[in-house]
Amino acid sequence: MTGKSLRQKDARTGVTPKPLSKAAVGNPGLDQILLGGLPRGRTTLFSGGPGCGKSLLALEFVLRGAEAGEPGIFVPFEERAEAVRANALTLGWDLEALERERRLFILDTHIDHETLVSGSFDFKGLLAIIEGVARDIGSKRLALDAIDVLLRFLGDPGREREQLFALSDWLLDRAMTSVLTVKRSADQDGTSRYEFLDYLADCVIHLDQRVTDQVTTRRLRVLKYRGSDYGRNEYPFVTAAGGLRIIPVSSAELRHKELGGPVSSGQADLDEVLGGGYLRASCAMIAGASGTGKTTLTSTFARAAAARGEKVLLISFEESIEAICGTMLSSGIDLRPGLEAGMIRPLTTMPEAMGVEQHLLRILDAIDEFGPEHMIVDAVSATNRMGSGQSAFEFLVRLVNSCRERGITMIFANQTFEESRPLEIAGQQISSLVDTIVHLRYVESGGETNRVLAIIKSRGRQHSNQIREFRITDRGVELARIYTGEGEVLTGAARQEKEVRDAIQLRRIEALIEAKRREIEHRAAESKAEAARRMAAVTQAEIELREMEMEWNKARESQDARVRLRAGEADSSLVPPPDQVEN
């Protein structure tokens, strides 16, 4: 409490603020949200309902500290030390090794026998033990897990509060970086019994577990952090091997790499339509109904990238890699060399197999391990089956942000339906995520159904607005010139007919252009001649003018001479010399 008022006073008096010292939790995601870690030497509260992961996070805080040279004490009030060790092992954390090295101390608070209460008491015993152990192992961190269980023993909210204030003061004096965890349970009046804990702690992190659309999501949110800024969103997380995995996402906070240079789509005509190809580190979406050739286009890209020696992570939610390989082979696109060379890494999974967080984690792990230049997701529309539309959207936002940060080119196939727009995934507008949209669809003309391709959007690039006919042959993909007259798109036989008609028309226009060009040349020549004529006239007039002037001067000279002769000898100095007059 005093810490807060002191800091505020500093701000008012304009004293240069000293940056808050932080203790890294050791969980990269959480440290990112906390802009470095928890307030060093101060108390942080993790609150939340049962099973939301607060104990685990508190343990991780102590464990990572111990690993990094800050010994710590973990005091579980709800679990036996044995259970804590066993649970930790399932996450791959070996607490006993650290305990043996006296870097970690788990204080077992469990009592087998009966306890009776007679009269008032306090927790001096606990504090004395912590203090003694802290001295022995040089502890810098402390976590009191399920402090509510300890407090409940007091049986009276007034005394709970009193004891907590005492504990808080004690912690502040010890200058250990501490974490308290507390179960939140709303009383009848809707307020939490331990709400006052929020005021005691310098940093408060709330965790919760929600079930929406039959999918359980755990989330974490920082409620306050005295003297520091922090990520203000709700961050989903999962418990996986290695601990809590939090992937912070907020496009505003993340610093993306600039879009890179063009990268070939694997098809020269498509590259031309795209204005050079896709852009590195950008997100391109190939949208279209079933069978329009989305996978053919993504595979064309994958094959070409692999052939250039660039790694492609191929995430398939629809088909096995064997099935994709077989289908593509019939279109003349051989993915096998890329797969065999390890340049194409398939990652196939059913969207329903796990929750959004696990999916994301699995993909990010694959990215970190494989280090691909490009990533294909076929099809992003399947993410909708991971849970609600909202969770699919969040999944994509976070996936795109993570890939952008790593400079990975993303090619998404998106299955659209008759009535839906290409930008939508189950009603979710994702246009802001996508830099380029290639739309594939069927058109009917002249009794045929053909595929067409259009670039709907290409962020920051010159691209063709034209619609092209898109053909899948046994030699891969071909794009054909298209005709857009009165909004009509012609394909197939109708297109060929039009081609002939247009060839004639074209020649006619070419002739007209040639004629016009010659006309312009003639007119230019005429104009030049006219100008020359006029220039000559001006020159002639100038010559004439000079002759007239000379004549006038001579006449004047002879007149002056006559005057002098008549008046006898006059002052010759008044008469300018003849050459001066001439000039």
Partner 1 sequence: MSNPAQPDPSPKYRMVLFVADHEPNSREARRNIQGLCREHLKSAVCDVEVVDVLNDYRKALEHRVLITPTLLVLSPSPTVRIVGNLADSELVLSAMRARSGS
The residues binding partner 1 (CB under 8 A) are 107-111, 113-126, 128-129, 131-133, 150, 153
Closer of 113 and 517 to partner 1 (Cβ): 113
Residue at token pair 């290695």: 242
Closer of 174 and 459 to partner 1 (Cβ): 174
How many Cβ atoms are within 10 Å of 131's Cβ, its own excluded?
A: 15
Min separation Cβ 131 and partner 1, Å? 7
Residue at token pair 């001439």: 582
Closer of 115 and 583 to partner 1 (Cβ): 115
d(CA 256, CA 254): 6
d(CA 345, CA 260): 23
- Rounded to 10°, the helix 356-370/389-406 angle is 20
Closer of 135 and 522 to partner 1 (Cβ): 135
Min separation Cβ 168 and partner 1, Å? 17
d(CA 494, CA 231): 58
Residue 146 is given by DSSP the state T
d(CA 22, CA 153): 33
Question: At 281, phi and psi to the nearest 5?
Answer: 65, 10
* Cβ-proximal residues to 235 (8 Å cutoff; 6+ apart), any chain: 29, 33, 219, 220, 221, 246, 247, 248, 249
Residue of 268, 231, 267, 271 lying closest to 251 (CA atoms): 231
Cis, bond preceding 175 (omega within 30 deg of 0): no
Min separation Cβ 115 and partner 1, Å? 4
Closer of 113 and 522 to partner 1 (Cβ): 113
Min separation Cβ 153 and partner 1, Å? 7
Min separation Cβ 140 and partner 1, Å? 18
Min separation Cβ 84 and partner 1, Å? 15
Min separation Cβ 124 and partner 1, Å? 3
* Cβ-proximal residues to 89 (8 Å cutoff; 6+ apart), any chain: 95
Min separation Cβ 111 and partner 1, Å? 6
Min separation Cβ 148 and partner 1, Å? 15
Min separation Cβ 201 and partner 1, Å? 21
**DSSP states along 254-320:** --PPPP-SEE--S-HHHHHHTTSSEETT-EEEEEESTTSSHHHHHHHHHHHHHHTT--EEEEESSS-
d(CA 304, CA 442): 26
Query: Between the CA of residue 353 and those of 309, 345, 369, 378, what are the distances in Å?
Result: 32, 20, 22, 16
Closer of 113 and 475 to partner 1 (Cβ): 113
Min separation Cβ 160 and partner 1, Å? 14
Closer of 112 and 229 to partner 1 (Cβ): 112
d(CA 498, CA 509): 16
Contact between 36 and 44 under an 8 Å Cβ cutoff? The reply is: no
Closer of 127 and 307 to partner 1 (Cβ): 127
Min separation Cβ 136 and partner 1, Å? 9
d(CA 173, CA 455): 65
Closer of 112 and 571 to partner 1 (Cβ): 112
Closer of 121 and 417 to partner 1 (Cβ): 121
Closer of 123 and 301 to partner 1 (Cβ): 123
**DSSP states along 127-177:** HHHHHHHHHHHT--EEEEETHHHHHHTT--HHHHHHHHHHHHHHHHHHT-E
Closer of 106 and 410 to partner 1 (Cβ): 106
Measured in Å, how far apart are the chain's first and last C-alpha atoms? 102
**What angle is formed at CA 156 by the lines to CA 153 and CA 160, rounded to 5 degrees?**
70
Q: Which helix (H) or strand (E) holds 553?
A: helix 492-566
What is the SS3 assignment for 417?
Answer: coil
d(CA 469, CA 271): 15
Min separation Cβ 114 and partner 1, Å? 6
Closer of 19 and 155 to partner 1 (Cβ): 155
The amino acid occupying position 333 is I
Closer of 126 and 575 to partner 1 (Cβ): 126
Min separation Cβ 176 and partner 1, Å? 16
d(CA 138, CA 63): 15
